[in-house]
Structure 1
Amino acid sequence: MNTTTSSRRPRAILRIHFHPAERTDELYGQLLAVIDGISSRVEPLPADWSAYVDLTGALTYWGRDTEGLVAVLRLRLLALHGVQCSVGAGPTRSIAAMAADATPPGAATVVRDDPYEIAVFLRTKAASALPGIGPKTAMSLARYGITSVGDIADTRLPTLQRILGATAARQAHDRARGIDERPVIPGAAPRTMSASHRFDRDELDPEQHQRAVLGLVQDLGSRLRTSGEIAQALTLTVTYADRTQTTRTRTPTEATAHSPALATTARALLTGLGLQRARVRTLTLRAERLLPAEDTVHQLTLDARDDRLRRLESALDKAMARFGPGVAGVASAFHRAGQQATGVHPSGSGGRTAA
């Protein structure tokens, strides 16, 4: 008997974005646990509160199609944690990401693993919607009349290579035709540590914003040094009076737990947000992609102020370990020891200064 059935299973990959009222590391972990109850193939992306999920095997296990399993997942997240999400589903990572970007909170967009449906979804999208095509690349393509994903798919590869280079052209050409073999790589979310400050009233004063952020830096820096970890990035989330949020991430010049270095990065984040007229309810600072402190590579300098600050920091950590938080006016001490080196302003704290 002659059979010609295909052994290939339809692929179903999700890109899911969470939209909670307030963000905490604990909540993110709980949301990932809900997803893990549906499929164990979860790739966390904590920087933007999202994740990739491979549902290919789960569809058979649960006996549902992609739309049905996505509906179950969204319902569980809402029922257990009150969190809305937006979901994009498709046969590849790039299609799932594009579908998610086009989906509002509380909704889902599903592109089935079907050549016709894939082409219908992709071809009319702007070239800049394709993952890997940034604004500058899209402008370069537009100069040659290539403005849509369909145009990229129809352009001969050698022509694209002359415009974009060999690697970028091959990647764009494949993704424009729905080809993307990148797998979902399961793993635990990279360790993070966060601190939040909620104002007693919606705060308009930029000075109070700066003082609050500096207090968060002091808290995070002390906890990082106590746990023997260093941060590779800082993320500042601002929650406004209307509960909307803005999040920005910046990478320090080197992974660190040194409070003045963290403060420099945090103040740059705050300044970049331009909150002069914003009514701020909560500020959250998160240290991300933590590493063991022994992995640090500190660039040696001839700056005596930096050495004094590090010795002072060590002394203050010991004082707080002995007498508890709040024993030292950390910000004021850093200000006196090295204001010119770090740009750190005093917090106005009334705490005692350790000798």
Structure 2
Amino acid sequence: MSRHILYARLIGEGAAAGHPALLRLLHDITPVVGAVPPDAAFADVGGALRYFGCDAARLAGLLRVRALALRGTDCVIGVAPNPLLARMAADGRDAPGVSEVPDDPEAVAGFLAALPPAALHGVGEATARTLASYGLDTVGRVAAAPPATLQRILGAARARRVRALAHGTDPTPVVPAAPPRTASAEHHFGHDELDAGQRRRALLTLADDLGHRLRGTGQAARTLTLTVRYADRSTTVRSRTLAEPTAHTPALAGAAYALHDALGLQRARVRAVALRAEDLADAAHTTRQLSLDPADERRRRAEAAADRARRRFGRRAAGPAANLRRPDAA
């Protein structure tokens, strides 16, 4: 039975931060979505083609348009009859767009023939070097090699696997993945950062990014970890268990500030700071202590409005005024 697999990978600034949004867009098309962190995903759209009234390539084009219009991020999408070929079709593009490998043995053989064996996902560099030492330096030559030859070179089990890959065969199903248990964001300074105020601005930026992503996936963090990287390449790592699971940016930023200030860095030469939200929980099943402070409720309503603006106009549409301009998320 023929399958219709998409492999979509976000590109450009903020690709990792847009990963939850990509998963949501794919889930709007099909429930069979497998996340490939930090910025990609597989989707089996075979059951959706009749509903949308188009083929897989056109559906991929629709997904790309929606990603641009709703999230402000572009992507490259591979379309093929299995995950191996879909991923390779996407990896073979140098620019955003859709690449398709038809479900036809001759088309598959032509697509793979001139590629090096290392281009096959599942064939490592060591295996590729071993094959090349026997003159099998292209996928086409590996596919044409007698099974007995491959078995002598690689051993029985690995030879069967490599031969199947060289013929473009990959029965691996797309398995819907559970929500991630961690989320992280990192900022690299352009120089040794001695200013504690600038480091705190970076931490606010990262906390805002994490909060937005967690709220988008309906998750809340129980633990926050700060990593500080110095000019001599040493690092300091500190963690704090939060008073309650949260995705609220001020709460995450406050915990990040406390971790940072407790280090007493003073004149430390800092190259990068990173935050990691850990032990993530379903926000719908966590409890939040009610606040009698009306300002807190106003902040949460403003946060929700900012999230809606970001979903519609892009991640820079709204956020804390002290945000740095270019956070690097992972």
The normalised TM-score by structure 2 is: 0.62
* Matched residue count: 246
For 2:56, the equivalent position in structure 1 comes to 66
Q: Deviations over 1:225-275 (max 9, x none)?
A: x95458xxxxxxxxxxxxxxxxxxxxxxxxxx5x6xx55xx569x949xxx
Aligned residue identity for 2:27: D
Task: Decide which of 256, 260, 263 is 1:331's aligned counterpart.
Answer: 263
Q: Deviations over 1:313-335 (max 9, x none)?
A: 77x989xx9xx6546731128x9
Instruction: State the structure with bigger RCO (CA 8 A, min sep 6), 1 or 2.
Output: 2
CA shift in 2, pair 1:157/1:186, >3 Å: same
Q: Give every structure 1 segment of 4 or more consecutive aligned residues whose post-TM-superposition deviation is greater than 6 Å.
A: none
Q: CA deviation at 1:190?
A: 1.1
Structure richer in strand, relative to its length = 2
- Alignment of 1:127 with 2:117, yes or no, is yes
Q: CA deviation at 1:67?
A: 1.6
Identity %: 34
Aligned residue identity for 2:155: G
For 1:154, the equivalent position in structure 2 comes to 144
- Alignment of 1:13 with 2:8, yes or no, is no
CA shift in 2, pair 1:116/1:209, >3 Å: farther
- Alignment of 1:114 with 2:104, yes or no, is yes
Q: CA deviation at 1:193?
A: 2.9
For structure 2, the residue ranges without an aligned partner over 5 or more in a row are: 212-219, 244-250, 271-330
- Alignment of 1:39 with 2:30, yes or no, is yes
CA shift in 2, pair 1:147/1:197, >3 Å: closer
Q: CA deviation at 1:22?
A: 2.1
Larger radius of gyration: 1
CA distance in 2, matches of 1:34, 1:176: 32
CA distance in 1, matches of 2:88, 2:195: 36
Q: CA deviation at 1:21?
A: 2.4
CA shift in 2, pair 1:208/1:159, >3 Å: farther
Task: Decide which of 21, 27, 39 is 1:30's aligned counterpart.
Answer: 21
CA shift in 2, pair 1:179/1:317, >3 Å: closer
CA shift in 2, pair 1:55/1:331, >3 Å: same
For 2:134, the equivalent position in structure 1 comes to 144
For 2:214, the equivalent position in structure 1 comes to none
Task: Decide which of 191, 212, 216 is 1:205's aligned counterpart.
Answer: 191
CA distance in 2, matches of 1:57, 1:327: 49
1:76-91 matches, within 5 Å, as 76-91=66-81
Moved more, 133-142 or 34-43: 133-142
The normalised TM-score by structure 1 is: 0.58
Contact 1:45 1:189 in 2 (8 A): no
CA distance in 2, matches of 1:130, 1:11: 19
Q: CA deviation at 1:134?
A: 2.4
- Alignment of 1:51 with 2:37, yes or no, is no
Cα RMSD (Å): 3.9
Q: Deviations over 1:99-145 (max 9, x none)?
A: 11101332111011111211111122222211122222211111100
